């Protein structure tokens, strides 16, 4: 039987068929749907971890116990998980373990486009790269065999196009893989310096044997055609190359890319007249091949910035420029990303935007859009959790250098606070900082598509769970000034901000209101009064002052001579525009 699956769905299916029994992840585009689909297979215990480091450590513990395990994350999540990853490369596995790195060339939803293939080399683990959904499923199953055969974790590298593109996949039955016996082994699993020195010798030997294996692996293959041109490629770049050249050139298609199959590469290079390396982002393959003394053409003509596509390759190698439709600048309207109509974060950022001498250190999430016009209320965005830590550093630098009158606010989401914000808040309290922290609790992990988190009361598998109370966490840390507000109540929000500005100790403001897109249960509807009436503009009362536009709500537009217009199909009655209109020209429907 065949099914049409995305790469993420295929990875989940591969984990099921391979007999995986434990999977852990932190959501992050483009990897999120992997665990969401794994959770559909009840034979696999699946969980959202608070962050990627925890997710990998859970998978490592399960592997040592003897189970086949999986940890999934986006590329920057590997940075968070790097600490256990490098030690895991030394200790090796018991049950097979793969770590999914979903890279994001082109930065469709990320703050950088790092190439995580280098992590495999640096952490001394094997690297596997599929090129389509069928390979994504099949290679997962092969990865577990390799992991257990060579006692090594596998870095399984996907990219956005592999994750989200669909292809026909042959479906197989689940393998019955019994849990391996666990025997206490202190020299192997206790990574003290004395043990680590010996394990380093062992892992280097593994890599030599893995290189020999890669030269005979079915994951790497020759595709012989005309030998005037040869192309070495991997991942989705293989698909792009095939689209450009078809069967007119020969290919060395690599799926097992660390350790590289050097004997295969030499054989291929000897057989072709001219050799290209086509790969996305960094010259990972190219550098290794050139180090072997082989002449190849790569990044001198193919860019290492942004996502590849067939047009780029065709122009770089063949000089063929594709015809494009020229856009009419007069008719094309710019549509920058913005917070949704009714987003609970809008009220907070509107009030912050009116304050002078305020610095807002931001974080990763929907609320990063608070940096966009017309709100423009964010000074930094670095990585998950950095809002609080960087805010503390900013405030301390001001304090040390006598810069007075500037209040720093670190703005962070609820899921991100659990991910890596708590330690930053500990730092502020412990080191007597005075930066204020605003935790935007929209009752769900919003930006990645509404995943549960420790504050929502449910697990990934839909089971009721202990709901972590953010107020109690902050109290336990030692924060004495904590205030919870409804961010759509502008007066309440304004007063909390002003109070924080005038407090020279750690302050936490928690803005609690559900994401406007969340499918809320009745108790939540009742608690937050989510059955709101839409807003309308009284055109006779409207003075065309445009102050309502400063909220940046996509439901509000303006037409000269008519005034503000609210799109009734978008408005959810959040009332932010109603509260900021100085002429009471905005009313509730029916009032």
Q: Which of 455, 482, 371, 384 is nearest to 424 (CA)?
A: 384
pLDDT for residue 157:
98
From the number of C-beta atoms within 10 Å of its C-beta (0-12, 13-18, 19+), residue 273 rates as exposed
Residue 448 half-sphere exposure, CB side, CA atoms within 13 Å?
Answer: 25
**Strands 97-103 and 154-159, how do they pair?**
parallel
Q: Which of 32, 34, 103 is nearest to 284 (CA)?
A: 103
pLDDT for residue 66:
97
Q: Which domains does the chain have, with CATH numbers?
A: 2-214 (3.40.50.970), 221-318 (3.40.50.920), 345-528 (3.40.50.970), 535-588 (3.30.70.20)
**Strands 126-128 and 69-74, how do they pair?**
unpaired
Let me know: does 280 contact 162? Beta carbons within 8 Å. no
- Please list the rounded mean pLDDT of every run of 10 residues in the chain (591 residues): 97 98 97 97 97 98 98 97 98 98 94 96 98 98 98 98 97 96 97 96 97 97 98 98 97 98 98 97 97 97 96 94 81 82 96 95 94 94 96 96 95 97 98 97 93 95 95 98 97 98 97 94 91 92 96 94 94 96 92 69
Give the C-alpha separation, 438 to 351, whole Å: 13
Q: Which of 382, 430, 383, 428 is nearest to 408 (CA)?
A: 428
Q: Which of 45, 54, 56, 66 is nearest to 89 (CA)?
A: 56
Q: Which of 363, 432, 189, 211 is nearest to 371 (CA)?
A: 363
244: left (phi over 0), alpha (psi -120 to 50) or beta: alpha
What is the secondary structure of 241-275 as a DSSP string? Answer: HHHHHTTSSEEEEESEEES--HHHHHHHHHH-SEE
**Strands 69-74 and 97-103, how do they pair?**
parallel
Residues 6 or more apart in contact with residue 354 via CB below 8 angstroms: none
What is the crossing angle of helices 386-400 and 422-430, to 10°? Answer: 20
pLDDT for residue 104:
96
Give the C-alpha separation, 485 to 363, whole Å: 20
Tell me how crowded residue 293 is: count the other CB atoms within 10 A of its CB.
8
| Residue ranges in 73-216 assigned as alpha helix (H) | 75-91, 117-123, 133-150, 160-164, 186-189, 193-214
């Amino acid at each position: 039987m065949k099914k049409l699956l995305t790469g993420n769905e295929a990875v989940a299916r591969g984990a099921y068929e391979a007999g995986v029994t434990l999977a852990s992840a932190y959501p992050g585009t483009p990897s999120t749907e992997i665990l969401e689909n794994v959770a559909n297979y009840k034979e696999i215990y699946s969980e959202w971890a608070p962050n990627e480091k925890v997710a990998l450590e859970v998978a490592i513990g399960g592997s040592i116990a003897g189970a086949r395990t999986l940890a999934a994350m986006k590329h920057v999540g590997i940075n968070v998980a790097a600490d256990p990853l490098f030690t895991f490369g030394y200790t090796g596995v018991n049950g097979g373990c793969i770590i999914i790195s979903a890279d994001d060339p082109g930065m469709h939803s990320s703050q950088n486009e790092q190439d995580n293939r280098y992590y495999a080399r640096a952490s001394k683990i094997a690297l596997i790269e599929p090129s389509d959904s069928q390979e994504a499923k099949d290679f997962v199953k092969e990865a577990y065999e390799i992991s257990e055969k060579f006692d090594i974790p596998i870095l399984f590298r996907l990219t956005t196009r592999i994750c989200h593109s669909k292809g026909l996949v042959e479906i197989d039955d689940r393998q019955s893989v019994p849990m391996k016996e666990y025997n206490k082994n202190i020299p192997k699993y206790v990574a003290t310096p004395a043990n680590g020195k010996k394990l380093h010798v062992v892992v280097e030997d593994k890599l030599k044997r893995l290189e020999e294996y890669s030269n005979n692996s079915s994951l790497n293959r020759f595709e012989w055609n005309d030998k005037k041109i040869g192309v070495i490629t991997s991942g989705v770049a293989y698909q792009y190359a095939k689209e450009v050249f078809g069967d007119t050139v020969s290919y060395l298609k690599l799926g097992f890319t660390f350790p590289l199959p050097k004997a295969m590469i030499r054989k291929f290079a000897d057989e072709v007249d001219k050799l290209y390396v086509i790969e996305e982002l960094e010259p990972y393959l190219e550098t290794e091949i050139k180090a072997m003394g082989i002449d190849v053409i790569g990044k001198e003509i193919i860019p290492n910035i942004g996502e590849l596509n067939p047009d780029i390759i065709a122009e770089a190698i063949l000089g063929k420029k594709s015809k494009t439709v020229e856009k009419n600048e007069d008719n094309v309207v710019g549509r920058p990303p913005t917070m949704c109509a009714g987003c609970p974060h809008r009220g907070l950022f509107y009030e912050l935007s009116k304050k002078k001498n305020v610095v807002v250190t931001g974080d990763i999430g929907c609320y990063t859009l608070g940096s966009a016009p017309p709100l423009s209320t964010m000074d930094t965005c670095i990585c998950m959790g950095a809002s609080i830590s960087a805010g503390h550093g900013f405030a301390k630098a001001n304090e040390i250098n006598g810069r007075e009158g500037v209040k720093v606010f670190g703005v962070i989401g609820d899921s991100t606070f659990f991910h890596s914000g708590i330690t930053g808040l500990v730092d502020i309290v412990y080191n007597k900082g005075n930066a204020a922290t605003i935790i935007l609790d929209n009752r769900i992990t919003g930006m990645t598509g509404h995943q549960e988190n420790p504050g929502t009361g449910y697990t990934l598998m839909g089971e009721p769970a202990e709901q972590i109370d953010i107020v109690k966490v902050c109290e336990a840390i030692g924060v004495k000034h904590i205030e919870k507000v409804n961010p759509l109540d502008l007066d309440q929000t304004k007063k909390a901000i002003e109070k924080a500005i005038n407090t020279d100790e750690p302050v936490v403001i928690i803005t609690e209101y559900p994401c406007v897109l969340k499918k809320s249960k009745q108790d939540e509807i009742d608690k937050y009064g989510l059955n709101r009436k839409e807003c309308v503009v009284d055109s006779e009362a409207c003075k065309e002052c445009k102050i309502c536009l400063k909220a940046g709500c996509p439901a509000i537009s303006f037409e000269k001579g008519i005034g503000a217009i609210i799109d009734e199909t978008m408005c959810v009655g959040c009332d932010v525009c109603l509260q900021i209109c100085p002429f009471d020209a905005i009313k509730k429907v029916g009032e």
